[in-house]
C-alpha cells in the first residue's frame, strides 16, 4: 500500500466475528434449522463451517446469510485440520457435550498473542458433570448428562462463559455463572439462544442464570455488527487523516474506544447506528490507556491504537492487561521508524513526525490489521507479508479501504 492518502467516504460495518463463532457452535444444540443473517464471510467463519459439516450439518450460504440444518450429528470429533486453525474451536466442547454427551477435539490454535489457557473452560465443564482427559494434545470429553451447577469464574473469561452457557442450555437443572464476562458478544449469544427457546437471565451482568430446557426450536437471527472492525476503520482514518462515516456501527458498544479517539483529537458525531469521524491534523498523545474486559478499552484494538500513537505529539503509554503477547507488532513498527519501549506489559510510545513504508510481517490477526493502519499513515510503500492472518477477522479490508480512497492492493 502507498501511505499518506487521506480517507474519505462511507462504509457499512460487517457482522461480528466474535459473536458469529459461538453462535455457529450453538447451532449444534438444535435438531433443526438455524438461519443467521449478516454473517461475515471471513476465514474463521469458513473454518467453523467446515467443523459443522464434519459433524454432519448441512450448511448453505445465500449472500451474507447462513443456513444450518443440524438434525443428524454423527461425528463429535473435530479434526486437527480445522480445530487447530483458531482458538474458538474450544467452544465446541460445550455444545457437543450438551447435544451428544461426548466430544474429541485438538487443543485449540489461532493467533500467538499469549498463553490463553483453557483451564477455566475445563474446570467449569467438569463441575457440570463432564469427564475430560488430555492425551497427546487431544481433549477427550464425555458425560452421561450435563447438570446445572454454581460456577464462579476467577476471571471473567469470554470463552469460558460461552462454553458454560452452551453446555447449560440443554443441561438438567439450573446453572449460575458468577463473575461472568459482560461482553456484547455474550449478550448476542444469549439473544440467539433465547430466540430458540433457551431460558437465560442476567446476560450483560456479572451473574448469568441458565435453566436447562429439553429442546430448542428453529429460528432466524440477524447478527450484530463488529465493534472491532468498526474501531479498526476509525483508527485507519486517524492514521491516514480524512473524514469517514460508518453505517450499521454498534455505537452503544463502543463507548471506551470512542472516548479514546476523542482524547486523541478526533471530531466525532454519533447517531444510533452511525459514526462520523474527522481526523485531527495532529494526533494528541494519551497519558495512559489500559486494556480491560468490556466495558473497558478492548485488547483487540490495542495494536491498532499503538500504530496510531506512533505519530502522536509527545509521549503516550499503553498498558496491556489481557494478553501478554500483544506487543509482537512492536519490532515491525520500529522498522517503520516508530519509537516504542516495552517494559513488562507497558508500551511507552514517543511520537515521531513520520513513519516510513517498508516490508513488515503480520504475526497475528489484530497486529496484521494494525500494520495496515500504520502503513496508511506512513510515507512511501508498505508491504505486509503473512497477511493471511488478517483474513481471519476482516471480510475484505483492502476493498473497504480502497472504497475510502486508499492506494492498497491485496493478493
Does residue 128 form part of some domain?
Answer: yes
Angle between helices 227-240 and 17-26 (to 10 degrees): 160
pLDDT at 116: 56
Residue pair 7/404 in contact by the 8 Å Cβ criterion: yes
Whether residue 187 is found in the same domain as residue 298: no
Closest CA to 16 of 274, 299, 249, 296: 249
Residue showing cell 438461519: 35
Q: 330: alpha, beta or left, given left = phi > 0 and alpha = psi -120 to 50?
A: alpha
Does residue 1 form part of some domain?
Answer: no
* Phi and psi angles of residue 104, each rounded to the nearest 5 degrees, phi first: -130, 125
Does residue 75 form part of some domain?
Answer: yes
Whether residue 246 is found in the same domain as residue 206: no
The x, y and z cell numbers of residue 33, run together, are 434449522
Whether residue 54 is found in the same domain as residue 179: yes
pLDDT at 269: 97
Residue pair 147/168 in contact by the 8 Å Cβ criterion: no
Does residue 221 form part of some domain?
Answer: no
Helices and strands counted in the chain (H then E): 13, 21
Residue pair 6/351 in contact by the 8 Å Cβ criterion: no
Residues with Cβ within 8 Å of residue 321, at least 6 apart in sequence: 290, 291, 292, 299, 345
Whether residue 194 is found in the same domain as residue 237: no
CB neighbour burial string for 287-305, b if at least 16 within 10 angstroms, e if fewer = eebbbebbeebbbbbbbbb
CB neighbour burial string for 95-109, b if at least 16 within 10 angstroms, e if fewer = bbbbbbbebbbbebb
Whether residue 94 is found in the same domain as residue 190: yes
Q: Out of 12, 39, 57, 111, which one is annotated catalytic? A: 111
The domain containing residue 144 runs over which residues?
Answer: 17-211
Does residue 217 form part of some domain?
Answer: no
* Phi and psi angles of residue 349, each rounded to the nearest 5 degrees, phi first: -115, 120
pLDDT at 292: 96
Report the 10 Å Cβ neighbour count for 71: 11
Residue showing cell 455444545: 95
Whether residue 142 is found in the same domain as residue 241: no
Does residue 190 form part of some domain?
Answer: yes
CATH, residue 398: 3.65.10.10
What stretches in the chain show pLDDT beneath 50? 110-114
Last residue of a domain, one of 150, 180, 211: 211
Whether residue 264 is found in the same domain as residue 207: no
Does residue 187 form part of some domain?
Answer: yes
Whether residue 132 is found in the same domain as residue 28: yes
Does residue 286 form part of some domain?
Answer: yes
Residue pair 29/265 in contact by the 8 Å Cβ criterion: no
Residue pair 8/50 in contact by the 8 Å Cβ criterion: no
Residues with Cβ within 8 Å of residue 405, at least 6 apart in sequence: 5, 6, 7, 8, 9, 242
Last residue of a domain, one of 176, 211, 246: 211
List pLDDT tens digits, range 303-343: 999 999 999 999 999 999 998 889 999 999 999 999 999 99
Is 111 marked active-site? yes
pLDDT at 115: 53
pLDDT at 109: 58
CA angle 393, 396, 397 (to 5 degrees): 80
pLDDT at 136: 85
Quote the number of domains for the chain: 2
Whether residue 187 is found in the same domain as residue 265: no
Q: Where are the alpha helices (DSSP H) in 29-110?
A: 43-55, 80-83, 92-99
Last residue of a domain, one of 143, 178, 211: 211
pLDDT at 107: 84
Whether residue 272 is found in the same domain as residue 375: yes
Burial of 181: CB neighbours in 10 Å, binned 0-12, 13-18, 19+: buried
Whether residue 155 is found in the same domain as residue 94: yes
Whether residue 198 is found in the same domain as residue 103: yes
Amino acid at each position: 500500500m502507498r501511505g499518506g492518502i487521506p480517507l474519505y467516504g462511507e462504509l457499512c460495518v460487517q457482522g461480528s466475528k466474535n459473536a458469529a463463532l459461538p453462535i455457529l457452535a450453538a447451532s449444534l444444540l438444535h435438531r433443526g434449522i438455524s438461519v443467521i443473517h449478516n454473517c461475515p464471510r471471513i476465514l474463521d467463519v469458513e473454518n467453523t463451517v467446515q467443523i459443522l459439516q464434519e459433524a454432519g450439518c448441512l450448511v448453505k450460504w445465500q449472500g451474507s446469510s447462513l443456513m444450518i440444518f443440524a438434525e443428524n450429528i454423527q461425528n463429535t470429533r473435530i479434526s486437527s485440520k480445522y480445530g487447530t486453525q483458531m482458538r474458538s474451536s474450544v467452544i465446541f466442547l460445550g455444545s457437543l457435550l450438551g447435544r451428544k454427551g461426548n466430544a474429541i477435539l485438538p487443543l485449540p490454535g489461532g493467533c500467538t498473542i499469549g498463553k490463553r489457557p483453557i483451564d477455566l473452560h475445563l474446570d467449569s465443564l467438569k463441575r457440570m458433570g463432564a469427564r475430560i482427559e488430555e492425551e497427546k494434545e487431544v481433549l477427550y470429553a464425555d458425560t452421561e448428562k450435563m447438570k446445572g451447577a454454581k460456577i464462579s469464574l476467577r476471571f471473567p473469561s469470554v470463552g469460558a462463559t460461552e462454553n458454560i452457557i452452551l453446555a447449560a442450555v440443554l443441561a438438567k437443572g439450573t446453572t449460575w455463572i458468577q463473575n461472568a464476562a459482560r461482553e456484547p458478544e455474550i449478550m448476542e449469544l444469549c439473544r440467539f439462544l433465547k430466540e430458540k427457546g433457551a431460558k437465560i437471565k442476567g446476560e450483560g451482568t456479572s451473574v448469568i442464570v441458565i435453566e436447562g430446557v429439553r429442546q430448542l426450536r428453529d429460528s432466524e437471527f440477524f447478527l450484530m455488527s463488529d465493534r472491532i472492525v468498526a474501531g479498526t476503520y476509525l483508527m485507519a482514518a486517524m492514521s491516514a487523516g480524512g473524514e469517514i462515516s460508518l453505517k450499521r456501527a454498534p455505537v452503544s458498544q463502543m463507548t471506551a474506544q470512542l472516548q479514546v479517539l476523542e482524547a486523541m483529537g478526533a471530531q466525532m458525531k454519533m447517531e444510533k447506528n452511525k459514526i462520523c469521524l474527522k481526523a485531527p491534523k495532529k494526533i494528541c498523545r494519551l497519558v495512559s490507556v489500559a486494556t480491560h474486559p468490556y466495558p473497558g478499552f478492548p485488547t483487540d484494538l490495542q495494536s491498532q491504537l499503538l500504530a496510531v500513537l506512533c505519530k502522536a505529539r509527545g509521549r503516550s503509554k499503553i498498558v496491556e492487561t489481557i494478553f501478554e503477547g500483544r506487543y509482537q507488532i512492536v519490532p515491525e513498527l520500529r522498522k517503520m521508524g516508530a519509537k516504542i519501549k516495552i517494559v513488562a506489559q507497558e508500551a511507552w510510545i514517543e511520537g515521531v513526525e513520520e513513519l516510513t513504508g517498508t516490508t513488515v510481517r503480520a504475526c497475528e490477526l489484530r497486529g496484521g490489521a494494525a500494520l495496515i493502519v500504520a502503513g496508511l499513515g506512513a510515507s512511501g510503500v508498505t508491504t505486509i507479508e503473512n497477511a493471511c492472518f488478517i483474513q481471519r477477522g476482516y471480510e475484505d479490508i483492502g476493498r473497504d479501504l480502497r472504497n475510502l480512497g486508499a492506494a492498497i492492493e491485496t493478493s
